[in-house]
Amino acid sequence: MTTKRLSIQRYLPEQRKTPFRQEFDVPFDDSTSILEALNHIKEEIDGSLSYRWSCRMAICGSCGMMVNDEPKLGCKSFLREYPGTIKIEPLAHFPVQKDLIIDMEIFLEHLAAVQPYLINDSGESTETHRQTPAQLAKYLKFSDCINCGLCYSACPQFGLNPEFLGPAALTLAHRYNLDSRDQGKQQRMPQLNREEGVWTCTFVGYCSEVCPKSVDPAAAVNQGKVESAKDLLISLFKR
Amino acid sequence: MTKHVGYVPEMKRNWWLKNRYFMAYMAREATVLPLVFFIGCLLAGLYCLLQGQESWLTWLEFMQNPLTIAVNLLAFVASLFHAWTFFQLFPRVMPLRVGGRAIPAKWIILGQWCGVLLVMVLFAWIFGRGV
């Protein structure tokens, strides 16, 4: 079995104030993922290496990290895809707590702000919500978000201004606004309309490139601009 | 906002040189620079027209300067490049539907280029008649 060199950014706040690099050689074959390589390091070489992971099948969104400067899921990226030394760092634009573990608090705050769940006070609570395939098709492609945060690391606007609600939160807001079962659009629009809402996005588009579930947040956020403009016009006539 | 504990990475000024998507984005945004020059030329032309014949002839001479022509040609290419990028993005921002069915993105893009062609033909017809 051949080996591959991983250059990992370490951050051990109890030892040093700034991050440093550490290199590890790990055995690999065609099926070895970055996450498995990290597990090998932790189990066999250096037990102090810290990172997050859970499902190993690209659905929990825990193992987001920068691989050769690109936001990736560790379990969905394989060593065979990278010639030479692989550079691994924590997800960009987030504060780092330890090694590859980032503080996602701001992401969760932004997510909560847009109320990403069905808001529907009508009818009996036990009643089944009916939806046609055409109604489902309107929001379906925006509903696969796994909250991994990769799009935030790909977004320079979020990097420059962490107050920006960001791609995932705005995509989920749009996804629920498009849902025929939802009645919460008026509650979400003030968040989309504010300066750190949809209008901070300048459509760099990299968020959609890195999304491991092909959600296309850039499209959702910019469709949100159309909705925001419509909301403003309607509010002008309502006065 | 919650106060974070830990190392906060710095975003450097050259962030846009990190990968080709950021560079393509900056190229799209930079198309505005030669276009500002072109608009400046147009506004100066209008001003010179109001000032009289001598001023107008000076402007005409300025417009025939090879450097002015080169920058304006660059502005033309930049506007076409910006249109190309904008037309690619448009179907993602405004997914059009007819009778409940989504119009394919390539048709929307083709429609926009047909619009550009129509405007160019219209301009050629309006300004070409006197030649």
- Delimit the domains of chain A by residue range: 3-102, 104-238
B-side interface with A, Cβ within 8 Å?
1-2, 4-9, 11, 15-16, 18-19, 21-22, 25, 29, 89, 92-95, 100
Q: Average pLDDT for residues A30-58, to the nearest whole number? A: 97
Q: Is the pLDDT of residue B53 over 90?
A: yes
Tell me whether A227 touches chain B (CB under 8 Å): no
Q: Is the pLDDT of residue B52 over 70?
A: yes
Question: pLDDT at position B98, please?
Answer: 85
Question: pLDDT at position A13, please?
Answer: 93
* Share of residues in chain A with pLDDT > 70 (%): 98
Q: Average pLDDT for residues B42-46, to the nearest whole number? A: 97
Question: pLDDT at position B129, please?
Answer: 80
- pLDDT category at B23 given cuts 50, 70, 90 is very high
Across the interface, which of A96, A163, A218 has its CB nearest the CB of B7? Answer: A96
Question: How many CA atoms, within 13 angstroms, populate the side-chain half-sphere of residue A9?
Answer: 21
CA distance A204 to chain B (A): 6
CA distance B119 to chain A (A): 26
- pLDDT category at A221 given cuts 50, 70, 90 is very high
Question: How many CA atoms, within 13 angstroms, populate the side-chain half-sphere of residue A2?
Answer: 9
- pLDDT category at B30 given cuts 50, 70, 90 is very high
Q: Is the pLDDT of residue B1 over 70?
A: no
Q: Is the pLDDT of residue B2 over 60?
A: no
- pLDDT category at B3 given cuts 50, 70, 90 is low
Q: Which residue has the higher pLDDT, B4 or A134?
A: A134
Question: pLDDT at position A125, please?
Answer: 66
- pLDDT category at A134 given cuts 50, 70, 90 is confident
How far apart CA A53 and CA A210 sit, in angstroms, is 18
Domain A3-102: CATH superfamily is Beta-grasp domain (3.10.20.30)
| pTM, 2 dp | 0.91
Q: List the strands of the sheet with A2-10, edge to edge.
A: A20-28, A2-10, A86-89, A64-67, A70-73
Enter the CATH code of domain B15-95. 1.20.1300.10
Question: pLDDT at position A127, please?
Answer: 74
A210 three-class SS: helix
How far apart CA B94 and CA A225 sit, in angstroms, is 10
Question: A104-238 adopts what CATH topology?
Answer: Fumarate Reductase Iron-sulfur Protein; Chain B, domain 2 (1.10.1060)
CA B118 → CA A196, B124, B131, distances in Å? 38, 10, 20
Q: Is the pLDDT of residue A69 over 80?
A: yes
Q: Average pLDDT for residues B92-118, to the nearest whole number? A: 91
Question: pLDDT at position B6, please?
Answer: 79
Q: Average pLDDT for residues A38-59, to the nearest whole number? A: 97
- For chain A, give the mean pLDDT: 95
- pLDDT category at B4 given cuts 50, 70, 90 is low
Q: Is the pLDDT of residue A193 over 70?
A: yes
- For chain B, give the mean pLDDT: 92
Q: Where are the domains of chain B?
A: 15-95
CA distance B33 to chain A (A): 17
A71 by Cβ neighbours in 10 Å (0-12 / 13-18 / 19+) ranks as buried
A23 by Cβ neighbours in 10 Å (0-12 / 13-18 / 19+) ranks as exposed
- pLDDT category at A124 given cuts 50, 70, 90 is low
Q: Average pLDDT for residues A132-143, to the nearest whole number? A: 93
Across the interface, which of B6, B94, B100 has its CB nearest the CB of A226? Answer: B94
